[in-house]
Chains A and B, each alone.
Chain A
């Protein structure tokens, strides 16, 4: 079946360093939608960015990601981490009516 893999459970960074959170997916369908959701402590998940266009960079709030269908990847990046980026990040896959989420990556940014 369809699935999303986030290999890192916890990423710890020093403020100012670049961020890269990995996301790969599996599906037999050729036109998936990919999403990144962010969940801060004691809040609900909210959309960070999304894409369905192959090899096109999408950006929001300093974060960016590019959907690469050739490698089934949608990694999340940011050039310089901020303390406020500390949160739980979910990659998700949509093929129609439902979203399938990965297990999430907790990002902890230290001063």
Chain B
């Protein structure tokens, strides 16, 4: 079974502060993804990566940066957090164009 772990699982941040969400996968998948989940919008892709050193913009990248320093790790960075970024964030990994394996989710509240 695929293993994707996220940290922190819960985070409260202040407006204007910096937030880093981390993701680690032990499946040796080349592709990793960050989605946010909001009622009425479903899962929306923020950033994704083809492999170490690569990051690509997804459908809603504004206000977010990503970093893929290694095959195993993929981080999502909010340099200046805003209340509109309050959400549940999911990291996922998977083979090209195929099944995604999701982490447990990170619940972020920006006050």
Contact = CB atoms under 8 A, between A and B. Distances in A.
A102 B40 CA distance: 10
A101 B102 CA distance: 14
Interface string B18-48: 0000000000000101010000111111001
Contacts of A102: 42
Q: B-side binding surface: helix, strand, loop or mixed? A: loop
B44 A101 contact: yes
Contacts of B50: 97
Contacts of B109: none
Interface of B: 31, 33, 35, 40-45, 48, 50, 56, 58-59, 90, 96-100, 102-105
A59 to B, nearest CB: 16
A47 B99 contact: yes
Contacts, number: 53
12 contacts: A37-B100, A44-B90, A44-B103, A44-B104, A47-B99, A97-B48, A98-B33, A99-B100, A101-B43, A101-B44, A102-B42, A104-B42
Contacts of B100: 37, 45, 47, 99
A89 B41 CA distance: 13
Interface string A67-86: 00000000000000000000
